[in-house]
Amino acid sequence: MLDYEALRLIWWALLGILLIGLAVMDGFDMGTAALLTIVARTDMERRIAINTVGPVWEGNQVWLILGGGAIFAAWPPLYAAAFSGFYLAMLLVLAALILRPVGFKFRSKIDDPRWRNVWDTALTLGGAVPALVFGVAFGNLFVGVPFGFSNDMHFHSDISLIGLLNPFALLAGLTSLAMLTLHGACWLNLKASDDVARRANGLVPWLAGTFALLYALAGIWMWLRDGYAVTGAANPNGPSNPLIGAASISAGAWGAHLAANPAYWLAPLVAYLGAGLAVALRRSWPLLAFVASALVPVGVIASAGLTLFPFLLPSSSEPGASLTVWNASSSKLTLGIMLGVAVVFLPIVLAYTAWVYRVLRGPVSAKSVDADHQSY
């Protein structure tokens, strides 16, 4: 059996992998939906765009379920704090995600331009809003949110939706939106045909440049703002109890963390490399351009996780109550059992996903949409 510290680190890494899986797999769904009314102008063009993601979006949301399940089982205090404090934000995301299946099914029920335009707008919101809110949530991890625990572990917070929409978090949200629309544009460049693919191809440089600028601004701002630091010696093999945490807010803490770990700079370099290759390869190698665009969320999420480590959710009102890798995990036995389950089932999910995309390979055209009676 691995020791407690190793299990905690493994599950911290697995949580990052699941978040990356969500951003990569469900991210191009969101990006495609957010770009729907921009890249597709006629009804047939929109049907082509929708049918590039229609057969796979439900399977891609497995990563959202896996991520939520991993937080619930591996990091119970984090699950309790996030799902309580971020309740309204999560309700907003849920409402937007509900628009996606409803929009897919309902837009084709009536052959009327006004009816279909309403649902196309709903699909656009269903892609753009979650992409934005997920980024806002990540931004608030660097800002910290007001919460704490009483002596009997009763959770209390002053988190509000308006408070979550602070300037830095909104910048992180816009960065996330640019990142996922870039990923969606590369997907449409690969899977769509004719004018849809051409317009998506033309958007890639603009979206890559927007992402690069916003990501740089967020990084500079993060470097300059106050951050969180663990005070005292943490016990990686100690009990999980947020009441025994010790952390403080200090000027430039995030920047100092990065300066002390030069290897962490590889993560943002991966993000920028992915954006650059997506632009360079989009015309001649659309598949490689799509793979390159997938490197962008890999680099962004990895850079956020490495910068925050060991924090999972810092508290701005009671820094000592901040949740970290060392004080917010499940028991050693629980983490060990779950690791065995993950080792068995995660490869199955990956293998099934690879098989599905192999079966569905090839572009979507007007001819294929008309020939497929199950199309949207």
In-domain check, residue 99: yes
More confident residue, 375 or 348: 348
Question: Cα-flanking dihedrals φ and ψ of residue 247, to 5°?
Answer: -150, 160
CA Rg value for the chain? 21
Query: How far separated are the first and last CA of the chain, in Å rounded?
Result: 50
Amino acid at the residue 222? M
Residue whose entry in the numeric block shows the structure tokens 């992409």: 131
In-domain check, residue 159: yes
Q: Which tokens go with 96?
A: 């937007």
Asked if 32 and 47 touch (Cβ cutoff 8 Å), the reply is no
Give the three-state DSSP class for 313.
Answer: strand
Element (H, E) at 115: helix 113-143
More confident residue, 214 or 264: 214
pLDDT bucket at 19, cuts 50 / 70 / 90: very high
In-domain check, residue 71: yes
In-domain check, residue 372: no
Q: Is the overall model pTM greater than 0.85, yes or no? A: yes
pLDDT bucket at 287, cuts 50 / 70 / 90: very high
Question: In whole numbers, what is the pLDDT of the chain averaged over residues?
Answer: 91
C-alpha span between 320 and 245 (Å, rounded): 5
Instruction: Classify burial at 19, counting beta carbons within 10 Å of its beta carbon; exposed 0-12, middle 13-18, buried 19 or more.
Output: buried
Which residues 6+ apart lie within 8 Å of 235 measured at CB?
326
Number of structural domains found in the chain? 1
**What is the CB-side half-sphere exposure of residue 32 using CA atoms within 13 A?**
31
CA dihedral over 144, 19, 14, 153, signed as positive or negative: positive
What pLDDT is attached to residue 199? 96
In-domain check, residue 62: yes
C-alpha span between 175 and 211 (Å, rounded): 6
What pLDDT is attached to residue 373? 60
Q: Which residues on neighbouring strands pair with residue 228, listed in sequence order?
A: 249
Q: What average pLDDT does this structure show over 245-250?
A: 84
In-domain check, residue 369: no
Asked if 257 and 227 touch (Cβ cutoff 8 Å), the reply is yes
Amino acid at the residue 335? L
In-domain check, residue 376: no
More confident residue, 12 or 225: 12
In-domain check, residue 27: yes
C-alpha span between 98 and 103 (Å, rounded): 9
Residue range 53-83, pLDDT digits in tens: 988 888 888 898 888 889 999 999 999 888 8
What pLDDT is attached to residue 262? 87
Question: Cα-flanking dihedrals φ and ψ of residue 55, to 5°?
Answer: -75, -10
Give the structural domain span for 63.
4-362
Return the number of other C-beta atoms located less than 10 Å from residue 157's C-beta.
18
Of residues 281, 374, 364, 371, the one with CA closest to residue 45? 364
Residue range 131-170, pLDDT digits in tens: 999 999 999 999 999 998 888 888 888 888 888 999 999 9
